Chain A
Amino acid sequence: MDMTGEHIIAAPREEVWAALNDVDVLRACIPGCEELEKTSDTTMEAVVKQKIGPVKATFKGAVELENIDAPKSYTIRGEGQGGVAGFAKGGADVSLEEVPEGTKLSYTAKAQVGGKLARLGSRLIDATAKKLAAKFFDNFQKHLNGPDASEEEAAG
């Protein structure tokens, strides 16, 4: 499935970019993230706990940053194995644009699931993926702007 969204963040682009590359910020913002450690400049290892429909799983996986064009855009790609629950993988093209209110963050994301997750949760995957993406950017915005951030806007 594909998702797209835009968020206006009241912070300069350099600051937003730095946060997008900060492991501590990402760990705090990724829903269900229990561990996120850098293994190189562009790769990380993650442990994420999620419940999708009737399936609960701990995903262990790798996150990679590609197509880096600092401070404008990158592609973030992740793949997690959830044991018998199956797997989830996905990626997002994220770009930052300077706007009068601060920075406009746009993303196009793709998510794919397999195994039991696809079998039992298929009806819920789209909704859950959208919810998780929205939650991440919501968290991210709050992290930079504090709890009273401007309204987010996500369109699928």
Chain B
Amino acid sequence: MTTGIGARVKRREDKRFITGKGKYTDDVRTENQAYAAFVRSPVAHANVKSIDKSAALEMDGVIDVLDGHQLTGDGIGNIICGWAVTSKDGSPMNMGAWSALATQKVRYVGDAVAVVIAETQQLARLAAEAVDVEYEELPVVAFADKALKDGAPQIHEEAPGNLIYDWEIGDAAKADAGLAEAVHVTEMEITNNRLSPNPMEPRSAVATYDEAEDHYTLYTTSQNPHVARLVLSAFYNVAPEHKLRVIAPDVGGGFGAKIYIYPEEITCLWASMKTNRSVKWTADRSEAFVTDAHGRDHISTAKMGFDADGRITGFKVDTIANLGAYMSLFSSSVPTYLYATLLSGQYDIQNLHANVRAVYTNTVPVDAYRGAGRPEACYLVERMMETAARELGMKPAELRAKNFIREFPHETPVIMTYDSGDFDANLAQAEEAADVNGFPARREEAAKRGKLRGLGYSCYIEACGIAPSAAVGGLGAGVGLWESAEVRVNPVGTIEILTGSHSHGQGHETTFAQIVAERFDQPIENISIVHGDTDKVQFGMGTYGSRSGAVGMSAIVKAMDKVEAKVRKIAAHQLEASEDDIVIEGGEVKVAGTDKALGWHEIGLAAYTAHNLPPDMEPGLKESAFYDPSNFTFPAGTYICEVEVDPDTGTTEIVQFTASDDFGTIINPMIVEGQVHGGIAQGVGQAMLEQVIYDEDGQLITGSYMDYTMPRAADLPNFSVHHASTVCPGNPLGMKGCGEAGAIGSPPAVINAITDAIGNNDLAMPATPQNVWRAYQAASAKQAAE
């Protein structure tokens, strides 16, 4: 079978994407379309003294200008963070109020204070300029470490000292004792740079209120339309769930930024009711920079102790996480349960402790971005390991292998239970593919050309497929993290799969169909995948955290189990055989070892005509299932990066990048490789190019592609991608997930390679030519002084 599990089936969705026929939210046009433009604060922190709408309201084509007092007056609820993290002293997190349109105070540049609804987008934008807002400026704090200092400007009265929580995990006393007995301690200060997610399609919403039905429809760029409906209904009081349909049509990339429910979607829905018009808003790129939740932004100090043999005796981490001006939907969980729980890496570390303080600053809210917490953990652990190896005079691979976990299941001191893996296999495969043995000769050759060549490792592990609902509930999550699916076999035998997962670049229409084609031995063209519409799909938790395979596909498998059971019953009844002898083979349902068979379509027809079904069987052939995983999944692997640095300019070229991943079962190697390629590209972007920069006044000064550098094809080598897989025991297909690995594993490999080349471990991301040149100069000066 060429379309089943393991086949390189070309992406079925690409025909419409590459011919420009995709249907995105901004392509939706309604009959009475009006347009929204937001009036946003140009200052980072201020009291809103007055809003004068008169000039805007007088302009032709302006339907209305609405503000936060009207919004809260209509009972629209504050935006919430859906994961309650408890401080180590037992107190709940300090969440400040966030209204979709600010009423008294603005807290970051871009905070919306009013919205103009007009006949065209251009008119709305012009009118937004005419809204006169008087701000009384307040002192600003844009940096996480400064926000915690005495006397720092206070951003929310609910969070004294700007502290949202002071949380810990692991055993501090044991970690201290482990460090005390160490013969060598490696200490580092590590920052994780702030990033802007930049999906290709900016966020957009089209909200339509139907007065006659008292019903709302929202088209929106969402990774999880059902969660959006739930939150809009239960917390923001926009409409009850049965009166609100949320559709996330084709979505052009998410990377986490499209998980959350933002002020704009809420405001458009409310404004649609207020004006009795369909209201559309689409961000331009500049608006995306100040409204899409940013990612990462950690400042950490870490200490790792080693015994004489190179074994880790203790590991202690202290992190300050910048959550921006408001707590976005899952922001609290990212620097805690998605970060510190992975600080054990691939290593057997018995004594581990992490402390995390999350703080408010006058910046755009920060939430999950491709990898969400796990890149921060991986970067910290892998920079520490590589630096420690250099300090100990050991080979980086040797130090890592000495500490590898080799027995599964393995319980870490930071609440994770790794279920499977073969870290030695990934390391060996990557080292061979990267020809590590030939590196000294390549370094020597490069030196003859005046180039500094460096090699860097990263042995990553991450937790995907989040996760058992009861477990995340116990950790404070406000939602369950199961997935649902429905399998409909039509009377003619074609199959529709309705899934709660959402595809915004992952290729679900191909891979999900592959597992069905394999299971029922049907042509892939007879299978369609339906997702992204709350009126069609029963429910879903959406797509993030590489959960669509391990959780979403498992739900489909569970529903297919039920369909198959019914198919067997129908076939056994009609063919007068035992259910146990029925096999699905060659597109037919057969009695094993005989020539008695029914075509797949005959089974479908039989189920719907219901002329000859077993006694008491209900007609129809449609089953649904909810699947709740038993554990996280743990993709892992080794990445090896090789670079050449020009010592005169600091310009760095990645000359080779090798990946060996353990993703468990792979449905479509081509799509998986694509995910790895994209992930590494984003990781290289973080490592070498991207950085959101605020000035002291809280002004975002990297608000366009002139100043915020995205990776381009010329910045990347031809990736060498390999797989050495172990089967995940936690789900029926044995899958682990591949969506984020590239972005998680690659930044430390890149930085470890550059620091190897320049002989200075003190290098922060992004490794721009200027930063690399400075670090190299510092190392050279130090060497000269010695």
Q: In the complex, A112→B39 CA distance in Å?
A: 21
Question: Which chain A residues lie closer than 8 Å to B129 at the CB level?
Answer: 83-85
Asked if A120 is at the interface (CB within 8 A of a chain B CB), the reply is: yes
A87 contact set on B, CB distance < 8 A: 42-43
B40 touches A119 (CB 8 A): no
Task: Knowing A84-B40, A87-B42 are in contact, say whether A118-B289 is a contact too (CB < 8 A).
Answer: no
Most buried by A among B130, B702, B703: B703
CB 8 Å contact bits of A114-139 with B (1 = contact, 0 = none): 11111110110000000000000000
**A83 touching B695, Cβ below 8 Å:** no
A122 touches B697 (CB 8 A): no
Contact A119 B286 (CB under 8 A): yes
What are 22 A-to-B residue pairs whose CB atoms are below 8 Å? Answer: A84-B39, A84-B125, A84-B129, A85-B129, A112-B697, A114-B42, A114-B697, A115-B40, A115-B41, A115-B43, A115-B109, A116-B42, A118-B695, A118-B699, A119-B109, A119-B286, A119-B290, A119-B699, A119-B701, A120-B703, A122-B699, A122-B702
CA distance A21 to B41 in the complex (A): 34
Q: Do B707 and A122 touch (CB < 8 A)?
A: yes
Cβ A123 vs Cβ B42 within 8 A: no
Q: For residue B703, which residues in chain A have a CB less than 8 angstroms away from its CB?
A: 116, 118-120, 122
Query: What residues of B have a CB within 8 angstroms of the CB of A123 in the complex?
Result: 706-707
The digit string for B696-710, where 1 denotes a CB below 8 A from any CB of A, is 010111111011000
| Residue from B39, B128, B700, B706 within 8 A of A118 (CB atoms) | B700
What class of interface size applies to chain B in its complex with A? 20 to 34
- Chain B 92-111, CB within 8 Å of chain A: the 1/0 string? 00000000000000000100
Do A83 and B43 touch across chains, with their CB atoms under 8 A apart? no
Docked Cα-Cα span, A98 to B128, in Å, equals: 50
Q: Give B41's nearest chain A residue, CB to CB.
A: A115
Q: Within residues 514 to 539 of chain B, which ones have a CB less than 8 A from any CB in chain A? A: none
Taking the closest CB of chain B, its distance from the CB of A56, in whole angstroms, is: 11
Instruction: Provide the bound-state CA to CA distance between A113 and B42, in Å.
Output: 9
Q: Are B699 and A113 in contact (CB under 8 A)?
A: yes
A86-B699 Cα distance, complex, nearest whole Å: 10
Task: Tell me how far the C-beta of B562 lies from the nearest C-beta in chain A, rounded to whole angstroms.
Answer: 53
Q: How far is the CA of A53 from the CA of B701 in the complex (A)?
A: 13
Tell me whether chain B's interface is mostly helix, strand or loop, or mixed: loop
Chain B residue nearest to A116 in the complex (CB)? B286
Given contacts A122-B702, A122-B703, 6 further A-B contacts (CB under 8 A): A53-B706, A84-B129, A115-B40, A115-B109, A115-B699, A122-B699
8 Å CB interface, B101-140 against A: 109, 125, 128-130
Closest to A84 in B: B129
Docked CA distance A112–B44 (Å):
13
Partner pick for B130 among A83, A86, A115, A120, CB 8 A cutoff: A83
> What residues of B have a CB within 8 angstroms of the CB of A118 in the complex?
109, 695, 699-701, 703
| Distance of A81 from chain B, by nearest CB (Å) | 8
**B39 & A119 in contact (Cβ 8 Å cutoff):** no
- Which residues does chain A contribute within 8 Å of B39, judged by CB atoms? 84
Please tell me the size bucket of the interface on A: 10 to 19
Closest 7 CB pairs of A and B: A119-B703, A115-B42, A118-B699, A83-B129, A122-B701, A86-B42, A114-B42
* Nearest B residue to A125, CB-CB: B701
Residues of A contacting B44 in the complex (Cβ-Cβ under 8 angstroms)? 114
How many residue pairs at the A-B interface have CB separations less than 8 Å?
59
Q: Are A119 and B700 closer than 8 Å at their CB atoms?
A: yes
Binding site for A on B (CB under 8 A): 39-44, 109, 125, 128-130, 286, 289-290, 695, 697, 699-704, 706-707
Q: Which residues of chain A come closer than 8 Å to B290, judged between CB atoms? A: 119
Q: How far apart are B411's CB and chain A's nearest CB, in angstroms?
A: 47
The complex places the Cα of A135 from the Cα of B402 at a distance, in Å, of 67
Could you give, for residues 44-59 of chain A, a 1 whenever the CB lies within 8 Å of some chain B CB and a 0 otherwise?
0000000001100000
Chain B residues whose C-beta falls within 8 Å of the C-beta of A113 in the assembled complex? 699
Contacting pair A119 B43 (CB below 8 A): no
CB neighbours of A53 from chain B (8 A): 706
Query: What chain A residues lie within 8 Å of B43 (beta carbons)?
Result: 87, 114-115
Q: What is the distance, in angstroms, from B30's C-beta to the closest C-beta of chain A?
A: 26
Q: Which residues of B contact A114 (CB under 8 A)?
A: 42-44, 109, 697, 699
**What's the least CB distance linking A111 to chain B, in Å?**
12
Chain B residue at minimal CB-CB distance from A118: B699
* Interchain nearest-CB distance for A112 vs B (Å): 7
Between B40, B286, B706, the greatest number of chain A beta carbons within 10 A of the residue's beta carbon is seen for: B706
Q: Which residues of A contact B701 (CB under 8 A)?
A: 118-119, 122
Q: Is the CB of A84 within 8 A of B289?
A: no
User: Given contacts A84-B39, A84-B40, A87-B43, are A119 and B130 in contact (CB under 8 A)?
Assistant: no
Question: With a CB–CB cut-off of 8 A, which chain A residues contact B289?
Answer: 119
Residues of A contacting B699 with CB < 8 Å?
113-115, 118-119, 122
CB distance from B198 to the nearest CB of A (A): 14
Cβ–Cβ < 8 Å partners of B697 in chain A = 112, 114
Complex CA distance for A123 and B699, rounded to whole angstroms: 13
Of the candidates B41, B128, B706, the one whose C-beta lies within 8 Å of that of A120 is: B706
Which residue of A is nearest B701, CB measured? A122
Q: Which residues of B contact A54 (CB under 8 A)?
A: 704
The smallest C-beta distance from A80 to any residue of chain B, in angstroms, reads: 11
Annotate A30-73 by CB proximity to B: 1 below 8 A, 0 otherwise: 00000000000000000000000110000000000000000000
Measured between C-beta atoms, what is the minimum distance from B196 to chain A in Å? 11
Inter-chain CA distance A60–B125, complex, in Å, is 19
Q: Complex Cα distance A43/B132, Å?
A: 22
Chain A residues with CB under 8 A of B704: 54, 119-120
Report Cα–Cα, A117/B697, bound state, in Å: 13
Give the Cβ gap from A91 to chain B, nearest Cβ, in Å: 15
State the CA gap A120–B701 with chains docked (Å): 7
- Give bound CA distance, A54 to B704, whole Å: 11
Contacts of A120 in B (CB 8 A): 286, 703-704, 706
Nearest CB in chain B to that of A117: its residue: B42
Q: Which residues of B contact A85 (CB under 8 A)?
A: 129
- Cα of A113 to Cα of B140 in the assembled complex, Å: 15
Residue of A nearest to B37 (CB): A84
Question: Measured between C-beta atoms, what is the minimum distance from B710 to chain A in Å?
Answer: 16
- Residue of B with least CB distance to A54: B704
Give complex CA distance A54, B285 in Å. Answer: 13
Contacts of A86 in B (CB 8 A): 42
Residue of B128, B702, B707 touching A84 (CB-CB under 8 A): B128
Residue among A53, A84, A85, A87 with the most chain B CB within 10 A? A84
- Nearest residue (CB) in B for A86 is B42
Q: Which of A93-123 contact B (CB under 8 A)?
A: 112-120, 122-123
How far is B109's CA from A118's CA once the two chains are assembled, in angstroms? 10
A113 to B39, CA, bound (A): 18
- Bound CA span A116–B290, Å: 10
A123 to B704, CA, bound (A): 10
A1 to chain B, nearest CB (A): 10
- Complex CA gap A115/B46 in Å reads 13
Q: From residue B239, how far is it (CB to closest CB) to chain A in Å?
A: 30
A118 to B697, CA, bound (A): 11
